[in-house]
Amino acid sequence: MKLGYLGPIGSFSYEAARAYSDNMELVPLLSFYEIIQGVEEGVIEAGILPIENSTEGAVTPVMDGLLKTKKAVIVDELVLSIAHNLVSLSSNLTEIESIFSHQQALEQCRDYFRKQLPQARLIACASSSLACAKAKELGRGTAAITNKEAGFSYGLNLLVANIHDNSFNQTRFVIISQQPAATCFPCKTSIAFAFLNDRPGSLYKVLKVFADGNINLTRIESRPAKAEIGKYIFYVDFIEDSHKGPAKEILEQINSITGFLKIFGTYPTKE
């Protein structure tokens, strides 16, 4: 069974894939889009994607990508503690002029760089392991944010360990597949919904459905619908701790009062 992750080897997604996989073949891919499409087209049986971080919140390209799926559903989740480290061919912090990493990693360390390296340019690239390749290629004035293993594998020196701004830095990953998760208890369901027309109390009516059903929400976020200003899509995760399985009646009520409802999947919760 093939599990796609944002590669190459050494990225944080690789660490998550290793932590999740059980005798699965790990397949490095170049983008979140390739992972999602790989599952959609059946090229890989599963994919692992970072969906939210405890410091920076939602990983928006993943949220937008999952919104377009037709076959892939969320079947599981994994929470990984993230430790960001600054690595370079240089052993002197004052030599660093440019720092590469994935955009999420840069944002999770922004306060550190504001205080310690305000002159350095922060440059986003596809993954933390590719950032290591850049640091090695461009030489001593360049550094990367990554995990220690990736830095050592590229022959880079550890300049500073644990530079992330939040000491409780964690990333939640979801696993997608065409095969729905087996019956679980308790279980989490992830959905997205939108309204055809923006009227006072629209969101309240949806939240009231959850409240009346004694359903606990673990996440609620909004994203622009990429149409006119003021149009939003709402993303919600909720946990059902009864033995009834997915909250079918709840979802039917929400479907009746929204213009659009997408169910990403129901799966075992780690919360």
User: Mean pLDDT throughout 28-44?
Assistant: 96
| Residue 255 belongs to some domain of the structure | yes
- What's the mean per-residue pLDDT of the chain? 92
106 in the same domain as 62: no
Report pLDDT digits (tens) over 127-186: 888 999 999 999 999 999 999 989 999 999 999 999 999 989 999 999 999 999 887 778
pLDDT, one tens digit per residue, over 47-95 is: 999 999 988 889 999 999 999 999 999 999 999 999 999 999 999 999 9
43 shares its domain with 58: yes
pLDDT at 8: 83
What Å distances lie between residue 18 and 105, 146, 239, CA to CA? 19, 16, 26
21 and 75 belong to one structural domain: yes
pLDDT tens digits for 215-260? 999 999 999 887 666 588 999 999 986 555 457 889 999 999 999 9
Q: How many domains does the chain have?
A: 3
pLDDT at 265: 94
Residue 232 falls inside a structural domain: yes
Same domain membership, residue 262 and residue 197: yes
| Domain co-membership, 208 together with 263 | yes
Reply yes or no on whether the pLDDT at 1 is more than 80: yes
Domain edge (last residue) among 142, 177, 212: 177
Same domain, 66 and 33: yes
| Rounded CA separation 12/186 (Å) | 28
Q: What is the DSSP string of 9-65?
A: TTSHHHHHHHHH-SSPEEEEES-HHHHHHHHHTTSSSEEEEEEEETTTEE-HHHHHH
Q: What is the pLDDT of residue 10?
A: 83
Between CA 4 and CA 44 the distance in angstroms is: 7
pLDDT of amino acid 242: 56
Of 160, 195, 225, the position where a domain reaches its end is 160
245 and 203 in a common domain:
yes
Q: Are residues 219 and 255 in the same domain?
A: yes
Residue 121's pLDDT is what?
97
Taking alpha carbons only, the member of 162, 258, 158, 248 closest to residue 203 is 258
CATH number at residue 257: 3.30.70.260
Q: Are residues 95 and 66 in the same domain?
A: no
The confidence score (pLDDT) of residue 243 equals 52
Positive or negative CA dihedral for 50, 55, 59, 63?
A: positive
Cα 218 to Cα 216: distance, rounded to the nearest angstrom: 6
The pLDDT tens digits for 186-200 are: 889 999 999 988 788
pTM attached to this predicted model: 0.86
Instruction: Give the amino acid at 204.
Output: Y
- Residue 262 in domain: yes
pLDDT on residue 200: 83
Q: Report if residue 165 sits inside a domain.
A: no
**10 in Cβ contact with 129 (< 8 Å):** yes
> Quick check: is 194 in a domain?
yes
According to DSSP H, which parts of 177-221 are helical? 202-212
Which residue reads 């090229």 in tokens? 43
In a domain, 182, yes or no: no
At residue 212, φ and ψ (nearest 5 deg) are -65, -30
Type of residue found at 157: N
Residue (of 239, 235, 267, 251) closest to 51 by Cα position:
235
- 49 token code pair: 């994607």
Of all residues in the chain, the percent with pLDDT exceeding 90 is: 75
Structural domain span for residue 262: 187-268
**CATH code of residue 149:** 3.40.190.10
